[in-house]
Structure 1
Amino acid sequence: MSAVAATGDEQGRGPRHVAIIMDGNGRWAKRRHLPRVLGHQRGVEAVRRTVRAAVDLGLSAITLYAFSTENWRRPEDEVSALMGLLKHFILADIEEFARNNIRLKVIGDYKAFAPDIVALIEGALQRTAGNTGLTMAVALNYGSQDEIVRAARAAAAKGEITTATIAAELDTADMPPLDLIIRTSGEVRLSNFLMWQAAYAEMLFLDVLWPDFGRDHLEAAIAEYTRRERRFGGC
Structure 2
Amino acid sequence: MNPLNHVAIIMDGNGRWGLKHKSSRNEGHKAGLKTVEKIIKEFVKQKIKHLTLYVFSTENWSRPKQEINYLLSLLENFLTSKINDLDKQNIKLNIIGKKNFSKKLNKLLNFSEKKTSKNSILQINLALNYGSKTEIINAFKKISKNKDRINEDNLAKYLQTKNTPDPEILIRTGNTQRLSNFLLWQLAYTEIFFEKKLWPDFSEKDYLRIIKKFKKIKRNFGNI
TM-score range, shorter chain: over 0.9
Deviations 1:65-113 (A, max 9, x none): 0000000000000001011001011011111111111010011002x11
TM-score (norm 1): 0.93
Per the alignment, residue 154 of structure 1 pairs with 142
Hey, what's the Cα distance between the residues in 1 that align with 2:48 and 2:211? 10
Per the alignment, residue 9 of structure 2 pairs with 20
Per the alignment, residue 67 of structure 1 pairs with 56
Hey, what's the Cα distance between the residues in 2 that align with 1:27 and 1:209? 8
1:133 aligns with 2:121: yes
Q: Any conservation in 1 of the 2:35–2:199 contact (CA below 8 Å)?
A: yes
Per the alignment, residue 198 of structure 1 pairs with 187
Structure 2 counterpart of 1:119, from 80, 86, 107:
107
Offset of residue 43 of structure 1: 0.8
1:52 aligns with 2:41: yes
Structure 1 letter corresponding to 2:188:
A
Structure 1 letter corresponding to 2:26:
V
Hey, what's the Cα distance between the residues in 2 that align with 1:179 and 1:85? 29
Hey, what's the Cα distance between the residues in 2 that align with 1:218 and 1:54? 10
Q: Which moved more, 1:132-141 or 1:207-216?
A: 207-216
Hey, what's the Cα distance between the residues in 2 that align with 1:141 and 1:177? 20
Q: How many residues align?
A: 223
Per the alignment, residue 234 of structure 1 pairs with 223
Identity %: 37
Deviations 1:94-144 (A, max 9, x none): 11111111010011002x111100000001001100101100010000000
Q: CA RMSD in A?
A: 0.9
Structure 2 letter corresponding to 1:50:
I
Offset of residue 33 of structure 1: 4.4
